Structure 1
Amino acid sequence: MNIQSIETFRMAVPLKKPFKTALRTVTVAEAIYVKITCDNQITGWGEAPPTHVITGESLLSIEYAIQSILKPAILGKTLLNREKLFQTIQQCLAGNTSAKAAVDMAIYDCLGQKCRLPLYQLLGGYRSKLETDYTVSINEPNEMATDAGKYMADGFNILKIKVGKDTIEKDIQRIQAIRDEVGPSPVIRLDANQGWTVNEAVYAIRRMEDLNLGIELIEQPVSAHDIEGLKKVSQQTLIPIMADESVFSIFDARRVIETRSADMINIKLMKSGGIHQALKINKLAESFGIPCMVGSMIETKLGITAAAHFAASQKNITHFDFDAPLMLSSDPVKGGVIFDKNFITLSEDYGLGVQSVKID
């Protein structure tokens, strides 16, 4: 079962509404799709979105990394020696985690088909259904409250609120307006995307605790590289803190865990370099009793399908952030995971279960 060809395609799908965070505003979901064909005619698919402000990658850099470096390194290699294959992917170039992830998930798609199993079963098979949150992007408090109410009416019980822009007082107004709109029942989690300083984060979180806003957790309150600051925030507040941009690799995860700088870790395939490395991060976290979330960038259903199969396969992954395809104006992927409002069901088709992809 050798790799016969590796093709890349550009994809662009407009969002229904601009998606705003403390780091950027997105109006179009762009991606590089990867298609791997093996000599037994099994084909696997992968996706890599350019997320300059997090991974440092662009469409051009992803294309170059795959076609000029990864492809020559693995073309003709057998998928049956997968440990060696994934080692080659990691070692043939530094960084470029999204490019690696796209190739990684396409390989796993092929392996699942070869074994005649859905990928989540090949990886562990812990569950076949997930509940995703829905993200409220940063806007004025009234608009965010209206959006939150709409998502609740659409059937979502968990809301992920973007903060970290403007002032702390404005962020608190946003959360108060949303809580007033949706009531006490929905789960609310926050994502500051590195938008606060250490002192601002401690102040903001303590204010939210005093106001009893019912916050489940807070993602990446401070700069990704400020592990000491992340630790200070975790130690001086009660709401659980989740590391996101601070953790790309298993080495990052080890540093965060050993220093007790966060209570949870958000694993994203586009940061880790794919499923193979993501499994290692989760197992390390699990050995220390640290639960994980699996999230995504602004991706189409292709990338989300791979992330959902990984997340569903592991007991230690307890939180799921897979709403990105619901933000898009169209779906270029036939097959893959099945969305029913807030619930995601994994197909019993082999591999990722992708039947076809519409390439412009």
Structure 2
Amino acid sequence: MATTSMCELSAYTVDMPMARSFGHAANNRNTAESLVLTYEHAGIAANGECAPRHYVTGETLASVSAELAQVNWTRYRDGLESSDPVGVLQTLMAHGMGDLLGTIPQNNTCCALELLAIDVLCKRLQAPVLKQLAVPAAMLAPRPFSQVKDTALSVDTFLASRGPFHVVKVKAGSHFAEDLVVLDTLRAALGPQTTIIFDVNMAWSLDDALVRCAALRERQVNIVEEPLPPRSFSALAQLQRRTGIEVMLDESLCSLSDATQAAKLRSCTHFNLRVAKLGGLSRALELARFADEVGMGYQVGVQVAECATLIDAGRTLSFLLPNAFTTEAGQSDLFFPNPIAQPSSKLDRADNVIIAPCGTGFGTVMTTAISPFQHTRYF
């Protein structure tokens, strides 16, 4: 039952310049676009975040805001302030947001509300999320993370400044001949043992992909990510059969239904699990369980320019998934000199490993830099 003491929950629409641009074949990003929820009650300050991308899930900051205006806030608050926070958290992680919301909104709206709920409930229990979800200490050793070479960063600068390299992702540009020069330079520098992922961001046709993936195979590229328009499941299966390339789904993977169809048609070998596009931590874990069942590989990915709770939530997911073949840690520390939040997880860029989130809840602490952004108070 909800208490009658003062409580505040607000949504901030964040559109924040990045210190450097991030580019790929489909887009060039210069600003963060996130919606951040903040909650204060009974000495608890908690937060949640989503990062809607219209080209991935069809959602925008405006659509998320419109859905938040329809939330049954009394029901949601009753769950957050229940006398049984352990039970509420267990139900949420096992079955998603249905009990807290009644109706389920689209993925990013659901993500922001779920991350906030997890943060509140774990803070009420005075426990880090990883501890409350019973992750043993042995699984909390620092985890290696991938380095991402986007089109706004030269290959020479990348090699000189971003090592050591555990796994490398290369973002496709608009000229494939130039991409091949980049890949040749990277493979020569990294040797044959380092996994290289080539991320096309849905920019190719099947005819182009058949020719280009053969060239990628010649350069020992291990995985091509999302080469075709979204949900081209039959064409992706054909691409793998004819070229021998392994495919990772990202934009085409936003639900268990997507995963089931892709597995049935043998469209891919790997999933890219990103918390925001999937609708939260519980759905990401559900898809990882499915992947384990069907023998699919997966990585823990990020949205470009996550700026608050999503940073720690994604890194939390990586420690919950020891079978993930790699993790993307994001570049919030490089993008935002005046951040709106301080993550509790840390990046050791000398060794390129993630130090596990700590503190209660996710441990993300908001800063005063969020104050100027437009916000709406819901209760």
Q: Do the two structures share a fold, i.e. TM-score over 0.5?
A: yes
Residue 272 of structure 1, aligned match among 274, 278, 293: 278
User: Which residue in 2 is equivalent to 1:161?
Assistant: 170
Partner of 1:297: 303
Q: Quick one: which of 66, 69, 79 aligns to 2:68?
A: 66
Larger mean CA deviation between 332-341 and 165-174 belongs to 165-174
Aligned equivalents of 1:89, 1:191: Cα separation in 2: 36
Cα offset, 1:176, TM superposition: 2.0
Secondary structure of 2:69's aligned partner? helix
Range moving further from structure 2, 268-277 or 198-207: 198-207
Equivalence map 1:50-65=2 (5 Å): 50-65=52-67
Do structure 1's residue 351 and structure 2's residue 361 form an aligned pair?
yes
Contact 2:115 2:309 in 1 (8 A): no
Seen in structure 2, the aligned counterparts of structure 1 residues 214 and 326 have a Cα distance that, compared at 3 Å, is farther
Structure 2 residues without counterparts, runs of 5 or longer:
372-379
Q: Is the 8 A contact 2:38 2:46 kept in 1?
A: yes
Aligned AA (2:345) = V
Q: Give how far 1:187 is off.
A: 3.6
Question: 2:38 — aligned with what?
Answer: 35
Aligned-partner Cα distance in 1 for 2:145–2:273: 15
Cα distance in structure 2, aligned partners of 1:171 and 1:271: 27
Q: Give distance in 2, aligned partners of 1:124 and 1:223.
A: 39
SS of residue paired to 1:11:
strand
CA drift at 1:44: 2.3
Q: 1:193 to 1:312 in 2, by over 3 A?
A: same
Distance across 1 between alignment mates of 2:179 and 2:344: 36
Q: Report the equivalent of 2:223.
A: 217
Distance 1:198 1:90 in 2: 41
Q: Matched residue of 2:63: which SS?
A: helix
Pairs within 5 Å for 1:1-360: 2=2, 5-37=8-40, 40-69=42-71, 71=73, 74-77=76-79, 78=82, 80-82=87-89, 83=91, 86-88=97-99, 92-95=103-106, 97-125=107-135, 127-128=139-140, 129-138=142-151, 144-153=154-163, 155-163=164-172, 165-180=173-188, 186-210=194-218, 213-298=219-304, 299-330=306-337, 331-341=339-349, 342-358=352-368, 359-360=370-371
Structure 1: tracts of 5 or more residues without a match: none
What is the TM-score of this pair, normalised by structure 1? Answer: 0.87
Query: Contact between 2:71 and 2:101, CA under 8 Å: does it hold in 1?
Result: no
Does structure 2 retain, via aligned residues, the 8 Å contact 1:168–1:200?
no
- 1:243, distance to aligned residue in structure 2 (A): 0.9
Indicate how the Cα distance of structure 1 residues 279 and 157 shifts in structure 2: closer, same or farther if over 3 A, else same: closer
Cα-to-partner distance string for 1:29-73 (whole Å, 9 max, x where unaligned): 1211112345x5433211122322212222222222223336465
Counterpart CA distance in 2 for 1:70 and 1:25 is 37
- In the aligned structure 2, how far is the partner of 1:324 from the partner of 1:335? 12
State the identity %: 19
Equivalent residue of 1:29, what SS?
strand
Contact residue 233 and residue 262 of structure 2 kept, 8 A: yes
The separation in 2 between residues aligned to 1:135 and 1:225, in whole angstroms, is: 24
Give secondary structure in 2 for the equivalent of 1:46: strand
Per-residue deviation, 1:194: 0.8
CA contact (8 A) 2:104 2:110 kept: no
Distance 2:279 2:13 in 1: 19
8 Å Cα contact 1:132-1:323 kept in structure 2:
no
Give the counterpart letter for 1:188 in structure 2: I
Question: Normalising by the residue count of structure 2, what TM-score does the alignment of the two structures yield?
Answer: 0.83
RMSD, aligned α-carbons = 2.6
State whether residues 291 and 318 of structure 1, in contact with CA within 8 Å, keep that contact through their aligned partners in structure 2.
Answer: yes
Q: The residue matched to 2:97 in structure 1 has which SS?
A: helix
Moved more, 264-273 or 236-245: 236-245
Moved more, 120-129 or 261-270: 120-129
